[in-house]
Structure 1
Amino acid sequence: MYISLNGTILKSQSAQVSPLSEAFLYGFGLFETIKVVNGKQYFFKEHMKRIKEGCSVLNFELIYNEYILYEYCCKLIEKNQLSNGAIRLSYSKNKDSYILMISSRKNSYNEENYKEGFRLCFADIKRNPHSPIVYLKSNNYLESLLARQNAKKKGFDEAVFLNTYGNICEGTISNIFFVKDNKIFTPDVSCGILAGILREKVLGIIKDRGFESNIGSYEKVQLYDADEVFITNSLMDIMPVCSLGDLKYDIENNTITKTLMKEIKELYNG
């Protein structure tokens, strides 16, 4: 397996990063995960827009332009012969300079996942909507990793954060939507969530299809009362949710989720 380090393609075991860099010591950096389908990168401009916004918050200078970054990603896809999977672009602080590391991997989601749906639970950790970090795709990802590890130990696929006010936030690796009486709901960004690329795509489809959408603050009881629940991220696209704790959802009849899943697939086919 090869990676790209500051634009140079190397075998992954040969790559070296200074242990004194802020990236290593503090997780001081940003990353984006870009879906690759049939060798093509999807929503690259949207990912670059988000990383530029993140650089502004962290007072980073993005020393590579979008076209160079795209070229680096293309070269790595070709070198690793990646047809379907993901590119992970990480941009981190290294004293007076920066580390650009691009890696690739296969997409771990399979047809069985979508058929069975994901099992969710609530995380014990609360999101702080006043922290600027929750709105960034930050390398400092320990909080989410811990919550997801705890969920996995209990037999769940994903954990859902509530914020410090008790409102629904997001998953450790996903944004969350729910359906009640044919109306679609999702937490507002101000609740303390990362504005996912797929979240925005889904909201666009919802608007185009004429579904009623509601973006706001919601309590956990509303998830238990939902007719359908699904989660999104750039690799899974839309994943149906089959359960929340001990509560089961009827994913055989989640017609809105299935409609949106079909629409998302058309983005790749088109």
Structure 2
Amino acid sequence: MKTSNNWVIFDGNITPANRPVVPVVSRGLMYGDGIFETLRTYKGKTVLFEDHIARLHSGMCILGMKVDPELKIGAIKEQLRKLLKKQQLLSTDAIVRMQVWRDGQRGYHPQDKSDIHYSITASVCPDNFSTPTLATVDRRRVPSRSIPSSVKFTNGINYILAAQEAAERGGDDALMQTIDGFISETTIANIFWVKGNTIFTPDEECDLIPGITRNIVLEIIEKSNRWKYKEGKYYLDHLLDADAVWICNSVREVLAVETVNNQDFAVDHPVIGELQNRYTQFRRDNGNLLKRN
């Protein structure tokens, strides 16, 4: 079925994608004063949708934004269902992005009564994602003490510069490190690796975003009793000594990494294959249909 990407939700209404206009004085445009969430729908079903909305609301709270009724979970579900139907995306997988930003004047301190705006977009999700190559970069992950890493802020300059540097070094994505040189995450995903029978991943003290999919993967690993796993602080040489490496996020799910700094890893490693299968089963068991209220 042919799909359309010509429609968006803007402040609660479905509108042609080229119609909403953000004023030049918008703080979202001037300063990246906002929050976003990205997730995947599966033929009209969502997985842990409440967790995504809770994180969106948490970010708004950090920024001092009021959560209006239109941004409550029931209202967003109904808007998303209508958008997917309008975009002809209820019968296929889709990538959804929710964005919230604030109006206001120049200056870093926002006004107490600044208007809040939001948008929801949806596009076709590819059937498959290619295994990525990662490159370490000089750009470091912003410490959580400077910018909280528990939510996704609109201002992604740090990630943009890191991704540009990774591309210059032949990578599809940047492998981010903390200021102290510990592995943190990539610009778009959390990272894991396996050595022997032990799975490793950076802990939350490494300034990473504790992703919703990361939590699912950790839960799967813990319940399986098949592997040992350790969360901790690891330098690059620890990862480069791994048998296999993978990333995870809500769109790409569990995805093998092909190379890190031109060092090859096994993309068909049995641990990755089993985690992919178990994740698929998890989201099938926990998928919820977007129903009309």
**TM bucket, shorter chain:** over 0.9
Does structure 1 residue 92 correspond to structure 2 residue 101?
yes
CA RMSD of aligned residues (A): 1.5
| Deviation, structure 1 residue 251 | 2.3
Corresponding residue of 2:233 = 217
Corresponding residue of 1:231 = 247
Aligned residues: 265
Does structure 1 residue 185 correspond to structure 2 residue 185?
no
Unaligned 5+ segments in structure 1 are none
| Deviation, structure 1 residue 124 | 1.6
Question: What one-letter code is carried by the residue in structure 2 that aligns with 1:174?
Answer: A
| Deviation, structure 1 residue 133 | 4.1
Aligned match of 1:25 in 25, 30, 35? 30
Q: TM-score, normalized by length of structure 1?
A: 0.93
| Deviation, structure 1 residue 79 | 0.8
State the alpha-carbon separation in 2 of the partners of residues 158 and 190 from structure 1: 22
Higher share in strand: 1
1:38-187 residue pairs with structure 2 within 5 A? 38-63=43-68, 64-82=71-89, 83-95=92-104, 96-108=114-126, 110=128, 113=130, 117-129=131-143, 130-187=145-202
Higher relative contact order (CA 8 A, sep 6+): 2
Q: 1:136-195: CA deviations, max 9, x gaps?
A: 211101221221133234332211111001100100001001111211111111210111
Question: What one-letter code is carried by the residue in structure 2 that aligns with 1:214?
Answer: K
State the alpha-carbon separation in 2 of the partners of residues 107 and 216 from structure 1: 33
Question: What one-letter code is carried by the residue in structure 1 that aligns with 2:140?
Answer: K
The secondary structure found in structure 2 opposite 1:159 is strand
State the alpha-carbon separation in 2 of the partners of residues 193 and 17 from structure 1: 31
State the alpha-carbon separation in 1 of the partners of residues 93 and 168 from structure 2: 29
Unaligned 5+ segments in structure 2 are 1-5, 105-113, 286-293
Contact (CA 8 Å) 2:36, 2:98: kept in 1 or not?
A: yes
Higher share in helix: 1
Residues 1:18 and 1:49: Cα distance change in structure 2 (over 3 Å): same
Question: What one-letter code is carried by the residue in structure 2 that aligns with 1:72?
Answer: Q
Question: What one-letter code is carried by the residue in structure 1 that aligns with 2:39?
Answer: I
Does structure 1 residue 9 correspond to structure 2 residue 17?
no
Residues 1:135 and 1:43: Cα distance change in structure 2 (over 3 Å): same
Contact (CA 8 Å) 2:135, 2:170: kept in 1 or not?
A: no
The secondary structure found in structure 1 opposite 2:61 is helix
State the alpha-carbon separation in 2 of the partners of residues 131 and 73 from structure 1: 33
Percentage of matched positions with identical amino acids: 29
Contact (CA 8 Å) 2:151, 2:209: kept in 1 or not?
A: yes
The secondary structure found in structure 2 opposite 1:101 is strand
State the alpha-carbon separation in 2 of the partners of residues 244 and 256 from structure 1: 18
Q: 1:190-209: CA deviations, max 9, x gaps?
A: 21011111101101111111
State the alpha-carbon separation in 2 of the partners of residues 188 and 9 from structure 1: 40
Contact (CA 8 Å) 1:37, 1:268: kept in 2 or not?
A: no
Residues 1:150 and 1:108: Cα distance change in structure 2 (over 3 Å): farther
